[in-house]
Amino acid sequence: MRITKKQYLFLVMIVLVSFLFTGCINKQVTSDGSKEQQGRVIINNHKRVIEFVNVPQRVVTLNQHATEIMLALGLSDKIVGTAHRDGEIQDEYKEQYNKPPVLSDTYPSKDTLLTVKPDFIYGYNEAFEDKWIGTVDILEKQNVKSYITQGGLKEHATIQEVYNDINNIGKIFHVEKNAQDLIKSMKNEIQQVKEKTDIIDKPVKIMVIDEATGNQVLIAGKSLESDLIRLAGGDNVFGHLEKSWEKTDWQEIIRRNPEVIVVNEYAGTSAQETIQMLVKNPALSEVGAIKKQRFVIFSFNDMNGGIRSGKTVQWLAKAFYPQLFQS
């Protein structure tokens, strides 16, 4: 069959349009390991590849930082349940935060979780155990997808893992612009600190106490908390330790001689009691932080990777270098 010039041009146009369309929907791979293809979203998370064909509609957040990220991205209408509320809720999110039911003060059981018919779960890896909500594989078999906070998975986590979490949640729910705006705001908060602390020649020496019993002290090594301290201009004297959390003794603390001690506080624990124990220990009387009563109480929500991280860096910097932030 003979093809006319007009038919030939028409066929060429069809081929070109098809090529352009294919190029538009071709997958895009990003620096944080996520990619999009033909409207689908594929995320790498905890040695898993998760594919989202549709945007999740019924979300349960298992930790306060996860709930706050969802709210900050404008996704309050997707949340059907929360858990593990660890402290005060920020004023701007109180109304939205209190709308969905609290399924548990800690982590809910799988049976309790399934009563709200979720299609997506978001929280720390410790929740995905048989004694709580069950493993991600078990949930997947019930058509419930999961996203595990990267900061709780990775040794030596940094602020980048926080940004990756926000980016990934933005992609899963197709609110990438909101995620980018939130990250930009957090980076600006940290940059404001850097502009102040750049003049410091010798960073203040910091140590983090998570808990203390007898002669054993649980301290922060290479961890997200240590990275927030670094961004605030401090130097974690145990930041060289490979584990995120490591046990040490009072003698090693005396040798390191921190100038400021950060004390972590969780629900049901008292940072003030830990501080009093430090102050009353005569062996520690010459430690710089104790001698000058320089303690910083770090709440669980502040140390977690979430929307508070930028403001946490600002708050830490003001505690480390009050002279730089006098108005």
Residue 92 maps to which CATH number? 3.40.50.1980
Please give the Cα distance from 194 to 96 (Å, whole number): 33
Identify the DSSP state of 79.
E
**Token representation of residue 38:** 């033909």
Per-residue pLDDT at 195 exceeds 90: yes
Residues 48, 140 share a domain: yes
Please give the Cα distance from 288 to 303 (Å, whole number): 24
Please give the Cα distance from 238 to 233 (Å, whole number): 15
* Residue 176 maps to a domain: yes
CB contact at 8 A, 83 and 106: yes
Residues 173, 208 share a domain: no
The average pLDDT across 301-314 equals 91
Please give the Cα distance from 10 to 8 (Å, whole number): 5
How many domains in the chain?
Answer: 2
Residues 207, 116 share a domain: no
Is 254 exposed, middle or buried, given 0-12, 13-18 or 19+ CB atoms closer than 10 A?
middle
Place of tokens 């549709």: 54
CB contact at 8 A, 110 and 88: no
CB contact at 8 A, 307 and 182: yes
Question: How do beta strands 79-83 and 59-61 pair?
Answer: parallel
Residues 208, 135 share a domain: no
Where would I find the beta strands (DSSP E) of 124-184? 145-148
Tens of pLDDT, residue by residue over 11-60, are 545 544 454 444 444 444 443 444 444 479 999 998 899 999 999 999 99
Per-residue pLDDT at 108 exceeds 90: yes
Beta bridge partners of 260: 206
Q: Is the dihedral of CA 302, 71, 30, 181 positive or negative?
A: negative
Question: How do beta strands 120-123 and 245-248 pair?
Answer: unpaired
Residue 244 domain boundaries: 199-325
C-alpha dihedral (143, 149, 150, 154), degrees to nearest 10: -110
* Residue 306 maps to a domain: yes
* Residue 131 maps to a domain: yes
pLDDT for 130: 92
Place of tokens 């019930």: 142
Distances (CA, A) of 241 to 3, 218, 232, 244: 74, 12, 19, 7
Please give the Cα distance from 221 to 244 (Å, whole number): 5
CB contact at 8 A, 35 and 24: no
Tally Cβ neighbours within 10 Å of residue 203: 17
pLDDT for 20: 45
Residues 106, 253 share a domain: no
**pTM for the full predicted model:** 0.86
Place of tokens 């730089």: 324
Distances (CA, A) of 219 to 212, 241, 243, 255, 302: 9, 10, 10, 15, 17
pLDDT for 47: 86
pLDDT for 153: 66
* Residue 21 maps to a domain: no
Residues 39, 149 share a domain: yes
Beta bridge partners of 243: none
Instruction: Give kind and range of the element (H or E) at residue 186.
Output: helix 176-197
pLDDT for 25: 41
Per-residue pLDDT at 150 exceeds 60: yes
